Structure 1
Amino acid sequence: MRTYSAHGGPLVDCYLVGAALDALRVRLTELPRLDLSPRQLCDLDLIANGAFSPLTGFLGEADYNSVVTNMRLADGTLWPMPITLDVSEAVAEQAVAAGGLVLTDAEGVPVAVLDRPTAFRPDLRREAELVFGTVDAKHPAVAFLLERSKPVYLGGDVLAINAPLHYDFRRLRQTPRQLQDAFAEQGFARVVAFQTRNPMHKAHFELTRRAAEAIGGALLIHPVVGLTKPGDIDHYTRVRCYEQLLPHYPGHRTVLSLLNLAMRMGGPREALWHALIRKNHGCTHFIVGRDHAGPGSSSAGQPFYGPYDAQHLVSQFADEIGITMVPFAEMVYVEERQDYAPIDEVKPGETVLNISGTEMRRLLMEGAAIPAWFTFPEVAAELQRTHPPRAHQGFTVFFTGLSGAGKSTIANALMVSLLERGGRAVTLLDGDLVRKHLSSELGFSREHRMLNVSRIGFVASEITKNGGVAVCAPIAPYAESRLAARQMVEAYGPFVEIHVSTSLEVCEQRDRKGLYALARAGKIQSFTGISDPYEVPENPELRIDTATLTQTEAVQRVLDYLVALGVIAAEAEVTA
């Protein structure tokens, strides 16, 4: 892969023009194709437009090993994050044999060619340990690596044809070169960038305003709108909040631009990576705050990274990266001052007010007022418009359990109970019905079972997003597929997993469809509970055993939970 040896070198983009582009288009019909995942498409976008300069493609084996081990490319250039293209063995074999691979977007449109690719097998646990400092799957990047990555990495130069198409906020999607030109036209010699994946409130406003004042320059609000942490507020809402915030900054020295980055939530390494990306966008300074790009807490309940580890790492490379870090402590509201201050400047006896993310979600869920000291009223209005109280949100109830456990019976009765209450559209996604109408071509291999649950999760997320109720009742034997469905839904509303824990013995005794008998006789292969495993949910919202509960009792337990969650109103006991 071609690289430039110093970060002070020219911006590198990978878009072909003229005769070179014409020649490449001729090759498109001769090469195998790969539909890129959302993360891969984000990475390709930023390789192609120069945001990942000096990279000109996905890392080959030598560069990958060097980055993982030393945070440097093989030629010594500082680069902390491995940018890789994970594929199946079959795709790798085809691409290497053909000498190229056409990379396409979600609609199958070619956006680039991976030229003369090389293939290698990474040690994913080693990558997790060295890059993210853990193999704990509570870390979203580690979970992705160990549970969802394909086994082979392809390295090679990217020959870009078309920029990935974005339909949203086009006026705010500037490339690195466009931002550099805009800063030059406006006479901004000093620009400090602020990275964010959350709505900005008054604490963020004060932090960024003070940072711009400190350097005597302009401010770039540069939020990530690619992939962030599962459960984050959608970028449409966030961008509207940022736009409402802009008029509060003094003068005309604040720029809002969107970054199509797939975050890894990698803490210190990620902060260094973010700084290099903003340097490529023409910034001279970069804000690194408390717990920059932190993914939250580990399985042991401890933060993955220290609150200022990111600042310490970025400062180590201050002379090399070509952009100056502006470190900031957490900003808090001091009641006695009626103003914000860095937390390390709060005096003994002063009262600090703060609202956590959990508390903010509670206020939105309950339709309560958001304090004026915490955020601007325009921002609060945008959040409340997109996040109505729980009783008006869509949600998903996801039953899982063995065949014959009683999932469909309870799901149907629950659907009827919810329809009797009214107020929302309710859709039943029963396992057998989905198999008949949505997944009729699928078999019962692990891959096909995962795909079936993925389809259910996608449909449920769309129903939830649009304010409806999805009641799902597949077997869903694998924890990985259930987690993926949860993550799709929780981007838009609550996901309630209910393990119908009726034992295998009871399910076999019922055997209304005669399936267990056929499986025991060897006439049905890969049958869950007999010849294929069922991975018992570890932490479902509810467990229901239909061997000990009547249908009415089981449905009432679900309704009681939904009332406690706040997604439906309490009523007199429902008989199902």
Structure 2
Amino acid sequence: MTDLIPPHGGVLKDLRLTTEQAEAAKTAAVDYPSWDLTERQLCDLELLANGGFSPLAGFLGQADYERVLAEMRLTDGTLWPMPITLDVSEALAETVSVGDRVALRDPEGVILAILTVSDQWRPDFEAEAQAVFGTTDRGHPGVAYLHERSHPVYLGGRIEALDLPGHYDFTHLRLTPADLRARFARNGWRRVVAFQTRNPMHRAHVELTFQAARQAEANLLVHPVVGMTKPGDVDHYSRVRCYEHVLQKYPEQTTALSLLPLAMRMGGPREALWHAIIRRNYGCTHFIVGRDHAGPGKDSQGEEIYGPYDAQEMVTRYADELGIEMVPFRMMVYVQERAGYAPIDEVDEASETVMNISGTEFRRRMREGLEIPDWFGYPEVVAELRKTFPPRARQGVTLFFTGLSGSGKSTIANAVMVKLMERGGRPVTLLDGDVVRKHLSSELGFSRAHRDLNIQRIGFVAAEITRNGGVAICAPIAPYTATRADVREMVEAANGGFIEIHVATPLAECERRDRKGLYAKARAGQIKGFTGIDDPYEAPVDPELRIDTTDSTPEEAAQQVLLKLEHLGFIDLS
């Protein structure tokens, strides 16, 4: 482990051991307790190990964590706005104490680092959310992550990195901070402005970066995030192919592309400050902060979480100690009379016509196969995105039926499957709750944890079917809102549609049918934890479709589903 001082960016931590040290550490680690890192933790470890998170030398201990939350500083006073923590399970926490060493592994079990535990504590996620994100609303993805995906115990301590996480994609673009600094020095780039993005780049972005580079009199680094971004974002494989097309639009030898393995928190102003520090570590002298930088959009009440220029104001406030200069930019819009782009605050709305396509409108046009005007997007980029996001009629889709036992889920699901297979055109797979229990989850019981695991397995299979353009029809009871939300997230991350169908047949009618006699046994106490009797069913609040089978035939219910599929564009009934 060393502290490097290359030409750009100041002191750079490198937590990697030498080859000989790493081999010795692997041998010793055989007897250490192990932790398999989550996707976010893998990203954090990589940037700790390679110096991207300098001056951090490991996951934050409790004192550093608390001061970061309260003041955006480490205990030594260094500016640092984002808590970098290692959350672990109760089970692991019970086996380790302060001073112990823990082997940190990737999902395949490969050891990547050793953590020497300095602190162990239980965080208050509500307080952390309020401090870091300025809200406790779970419509914020960072808040939702804390409450729904984080483990209950934090471990802090120094890291000894044996290796960086392995990557097989775009390896020529995965430059460490030391690599990038050395490249800048070789090329004589003394001033470098970095552009942060988690989205495909269109003409407005290119024009923005042109202007930023001219304003800063600097070379340009396009530095997109390829770790975790906002749920629903375009996958990084598609985005990087788009960036490579866009790179051809810049003058030769003026612009570079490199990938940043960062797990974003979507923390708005604090995140902008964090991004600036990271880019300083990568050797940049300037950093573009645009409108609503790293903002997650609206909360669950439909209100914007951050103001459009809160991030710029935050970075300005700490400019004297950042070590990197901000290049602020306003929203760029296409002006018809100028046949070009201009900052929105320089447009005379009384005499000039502003043309713009929102992200929502762009996705709608892509989904429906509509034209994307040349003034908005480069044809090469649009063509690349059309490969990833074909029109809905060619996308995969998951039909997720949920409802009480005896509500008619399986009957409708079978009828819909037959109707779709009758039509042809794409593969259709039925994942019925009872059938999945028999073949995929036969070892599971009916505790809440096991029910959740069963539904997550169904969701994983459905997502893979959807990813490959098929129709997955799922018909479990799925009584819990949070688990259904997990399945939706899995499927939508696979670039497919998700249609939740609540089969809302009343409990009394389900009991009246009771073909298997299950309700009677539950009422008699012979079956414990039966949904609708002594275990709750959390009805969907806003499903895409709600069906009550009390007074409808399976054929009529199936037709409602087909009409919904047609309305959403997944099939054409004409």
TM norm structure 1: 0.96
| Equivalent residue runs for 1:393-472 within 5 Å | 393-472=395-474
1:84-117 CA distances to partner (integer Å, 9 max, x unpaired)? 1111222112132781221111211111121134
Q: Which runs of 5+ in 1 are unaligned?
A: 572-576
Q: Secondary structure at the match of 1:248?
A: coil
**Aligned counterpart, 2:503:** 500
Alignment-mate amino acid for residue 264 of structure 2: M
| Contact kept? 1:31, 1:98, Cα under 8 Å | no
For residue 558 of structure 1, the aligned residue among 555, 558, 561 is: 561
Question: Which whole-Å CA distance do the structure 1 matches of 2:521 and 2:161 have between them?
Answer: 54
The reply on whether 1:541 has 2:544 as its aligned counterpart is yes
Structure 2 letter corresponding to 1:479: T
Aligned-pair CA distance for 1:19: 4.5
Q: Secondary structure at the match of 2:238?
A: helix
Q: CA deviation at 1:327?
A: 0.1
SS of aligned partner of 2:246: helix
Equivalent residues, number: 568
Q: Which amino acid aligns with 1:222?
A: H
Aligned partners of 1:255 and 1:410: how far apart in 2? 54
Partner-residue secondary structure (3-state), 2:429: strand
State the Cα distance separating 1:436 from its structure 2 match. 1.6
How far apart, in 2, do the equivalents of 1:107 and 1:117 lie?
Answer: 26
Give the deviation of 1:18 after TM superposition: 4.5
1:164-175 alignment to 2 at 5 Å? Answer: 164-175=165-176
Corresponding residue for 1:229? 230
Alpha-carbon distance change, 408 to 3 in structure 1, aligned in 2, over 3 angstroms: farther
Summarize the Cα distance change of 1:276–1:417 in structure 2 as closer, same or farther, 3 Å threshold. same
Distance 1:56 1:521 in 2: 60
- In structure 2, what is the equivalent of residue 574 of structure 1? none
Q: Could you tell me how far apart the structure 2 residues matched to 1:533 and 1:83 are?
A: 37
Q: 1:135 maps to which residue?
A: 136
For residues 119 and 503 of structure 1, what CA distance do their matches in structure 2 show? 48
Runs of 4 or more above 4 Å deviation: none
**1:337-416 aligned within 5 A:** 337-347=338-348, 348-416=350-418
Q: For residues 177-188 of structure 1, what are the structure 2 equivalents within 5 Å?
A: 177-188=178-189
**Structure 2 residue identity aligned to 1:513:** K
Q: How far apart in 1 are the matches of 2:73 and 2:99?
A: 30
Instruction: Spell out, residue by residue over 1:439-491, the C-alpha distance to the aligned partner (whole angstroms, 9 max, x if none).
Output: 22222222222121111111111111111111111111111111111111112
- Corresponding residue for 1:473? 475
Deviation for aligned residue 1:3: 11
Deviation of 1:518 after TM superposition, in Å, equals 2.1
Deviations 1:483-514 (A, max 9, x none): 11111111211100011111122111211122
Retained in 2: the 8 A contact 1:52–1:277?
yes
Alpha-carbon distance in structure 2 between the residues aligned to 1:389 and 1:127: 41
- Listed as ranges, the matches of 1:312-351 within 5 Å are 312-347=313-348, 348-351=350-353
8 A contact 1:291–1:306 mirrored in 2: yes
Q: Which amino acid aligns with 1:188?
A: W
Deviation of the 1:17 alpha carbon: 1.2
Q: Provide the secondary structure at the position in 2 that maps to 1:543.
A: strand
Question: For residues 454 and 37 of structure 2, what CA distance do their matches in structure 1 show?
Answer: 20
Output the amino acid matched with 1:36: L
The alpha-carbon deviation at position 147 of structure 1 amounts to 2.2
| Equivalent-residue separation in structure 1 for 2:303 and 2:58 (angstroms) | 36
Displacement after TM superposition at 1:525 (Å): 2.2
AA in 2 matched with 1:514: G
CA–CA distance in 2 between the matches of 1:430 and 1:98?
A: 49
Confirm or deny: 8 A CA contact 1:95 1:117 kept in the other structure: no
| Whole-angstrom distance in 1 between the partners of 2:51 and 2:529 | 48
2:55 corresponds to which residue?
Answer: 54
Q: 1:182-236: CA deviations, max 9, x gaps?
A: 1111111011000101000000000011111111221111111111111111111
- Check the 8 A contact 1:398/1:495 in 2, yes or no: yes
> 1:554 aligns to what SS in structure 2?
helix
Does 9-18 or 308-317 show the bigger shift?
A: 9-18
Give the TM-score taking structure 2 as reference length.
Answer: 0.97
Per mean C-alpha deviation after superposition, the further-off stretch among 22-31 and 126-135 is 22-31
Paired with 2:369 and 2:497, the residues of 1 have a C-alpha distance of 16
Contact 2:3 2:14 in 1 (8 A): no
On the 8 A contact 2:9/2:283 being kept in 1, the answer is no
Percent identity between matched residues is: 64
Q: CA RMSD in A?
A: 1.6
